[in-house]
Amino acid sequence: EPEVTQTPSHQVTQMGQEVILRCVPISNHLYFYWYRQILGQKVEFLVSFYNNEISEKSEIFDDQFSVERPDGSNFTLKIRSTKLEDSAMYFCASSTARVGLQETQYFGPGTRLLVL
């Protein structure tokens, strides 16, 4: 069964450094998402991406964040200058269409980011 994959599984970085989290969505999916989960808290939506542009973003997704689909398979989340509060699990998800069109989002295993 096709799966969403994410790399790396864990990343440790110094405050102020740039990080890039990578995701390979399910191949026939068209919508891509990033969520984050701070330890002990709920999963929060960051951004959705469709047709090579951001479809929607939350208040969390400020100028520090950017997303890109550099090729036909990868979907990346870049944090330009990491802060301590960016430490979290980051989940990538994909779907064939938006939830409103009766489609389900399938999640990857997550990348645990620790900012020191």
Partner 1 sequence: AQTVTQSQPEMSVQEAETVTLSCTYDTSESDYYLFWYKQPPSRQMILVIRQEAYKQQNATENRFSVNFQKAAKSFSLKISDSQLGDAAMYFCAYGSGGGADGLTFGKGTHLIIQP
Q: Which residues bind partner 1 (CB under 8 A)?
A: 31, 33, 35, 41-46, 48, 55-56, 58, 89, 91, 93, 98-100, 102, 104-110, 112
Looking at the Cβ atoms of 48 and 87, the one nearer to partner 1 is 48
CB of 16 to partner 1, least distance (A): 26
Token pair, residue 71, equals 């090729």
Most distant pair of Cα atoms in the chain: their distance: 41
**Exposure of 75 in the CB half-sphere (CA atoms within 13 A):** 28
Looking at the Cβ atoms of 19 and 61, the one nearer to partner 1 is 61
Looking at the Cβ atoms of 18 and 68, the one nearer to partner 1 is 68
Token pair, residue 82, equals 């990491």
Looking at the Cβ atoms of 14 and 59, the one nearer to partner 1 is 59
Measured at the alpha carbon of residue 106, what is the angle toward residues 67 and 24, in degrees to the nearest 5? 45
CB of 108 to partner 1, least distance (A): 8
CB of 69 to partner 1, least distance (A): 16
Q: What is the dihedral of CA 113, 44, 94, 70, to 10 degrees?
A: -50
